[in-house]
Amino acid sequence: MSHPLFCSRSGLPRALALLVLATALSTAGCSEEASVDLSKESAESEPSTAVGAPDTDVWLLELVQEGDALRAKSPRNLTQRPGYDNQPSFTPDGDLMFVQMDGDRTDIWRWNLDAERLTRVTATPKQGEYSPTPIPHSEGGISYIRSPDDTSGRLWRMPQEGAAPEIIFADIGPVGYHAWFDSDHVALWRLQDPSELQLVELKTQATTAIATAVGRSPQSVPNRRAVSFTRVTDTGTVVEMYDLDLESTEAVAILPEGGDFHAWTPDGTLLSSTGSQVLAWSNGAWQEVVDLTHLGLTLSRLTVSADGTRLALVGERIQ
């Protein structure tokens, strides 16, 4: 079974995904922090792209409300280099974390909004880190998936940037993705067949199955102790939401045709990407937020800043 990291929207073969992952992952530990100028890194660093890994970049856009419509403007390529840059996630203070593959390694990087600089958060030569995610109410703590191969992912955390990383659930895995309900409860996407989304309580490590055959990239729902996820049905790919307080699951919307990923704005608007477009679910229909066809991009993952003013996207050049 292939790790979900390299299942791209362009349809990367699973056999290649396994090959890439086997050569891309790295050992515990975090090296001394490195900081580089964004423009200099883009111009001078040309790491090779591992065979089979999609060549993706992280884009940043302004998100604005125009009357009743949500719009995204001023697209900017933050990474602009050959190779794999993916899985963006905003910190509460507006910085952007993402995963970058450099040759045969994947590490977490942070883009600082004010200084416009990239900082390496992890540097582990024999293990890979994926899905960097802020931990709720943790004053800078982040969680992520760490794995030395394609079948052993575990949930880790870094209490503060630069602090020693520590494993959260040594005996729960393999894990591909995760999303937080609150600082005491997390949803783990278990890498198995079929995939399963589990609710886990941190103190007791008690697990409860939420759903099976769940799509990639579960998302925390703003202002609720809830996590959303996708499932393929006869009518399309459905976004569902599990509410921890209600202990119930509800269907929210069917993703647009070709849609795979979703995200939430702080006010609870559901977003999705399909082809070169980002769409918003409004009044029972999908409305265009931005179309990046002119940039020649196919869009996949997306995330919104905590203040709702910025949208980060993963874009892959249309071949």
pLDDT tens digit sequence for 230-285: 999 999 999 999 999 999 999 999 999 999 999 999 999 999 999 999 999 999 99
Left, alpha or beta for 162 (phi > 0: left; psi -120 to 50: alpha)? left
Cα–Cα distance for residue pair 79/312, rounded to 1 Å: 12
Q: Which phi and psi (to 5°) does residue 206 adopt?
A: -70, 135
pLDDT of res. 52? 58
Cβ atoms of 246 and 236 within 8 Å: the answer is no
Average pLDDT of span 189-202:
97
Cα–Cα distance for residue pair 107/165, rounded to 1 Å: 13
Residue 179, Cβ neighbours under 10 Å: how many? Answer: 21
58-97 in b/e burial notation, b at 16+ Cβ within 10 A?
A: bbbbebeeeeeebbbeebeebbebebbbbbbbbbeeebbb
Assign 63 a pLDDT band (cuts: 50, 70, 90): very high
DSSP 8-state code for residue 6:
G
Give every strand in the sheet of 185-190, ordered side by side. 175-182, 185-190, 196-201, 207-212
Residue 249, Cβ neighbours under 10 Å: how many? Answer: 15
pLDDT in tens, 35-57: 333 333 332 222 333 445 789 99
Cα–Cα distance for residue pair 117/157, rounded to 1 Å: 23
pLDDT of res. 6? 40
Cα–Cα distance for residue pair 83/232, rounded to 1 Å: 30
Cα–Cα distance for residue pair 207/74, rounded to 1 Å: 43
Residue 213, Cβ neighbours under 10 Å: how many? Answer: 13
Place of tokens 């569902």: 240
pLDDT of res. 221? 98
pLDDT of res. 152? 84
In the predicted model, is pLDDT for residue 317 greater than 60?
Answer: yes
Domains and CATH numbers, the chain: 4-317 (2.120.10.30)
Model pTM?
Answer: 0.84
**Of 45-59, 154-168, 251-265, 299-313, where does mean pLDDT reach its minimum?**
45-59
Mean pLDDT (the chain) is 85
Assign 7 a pLDDT band (cuts: 50, 70, 90): very low
Cβ atoms of 84 and 56 within 8 Å: the answer is yes
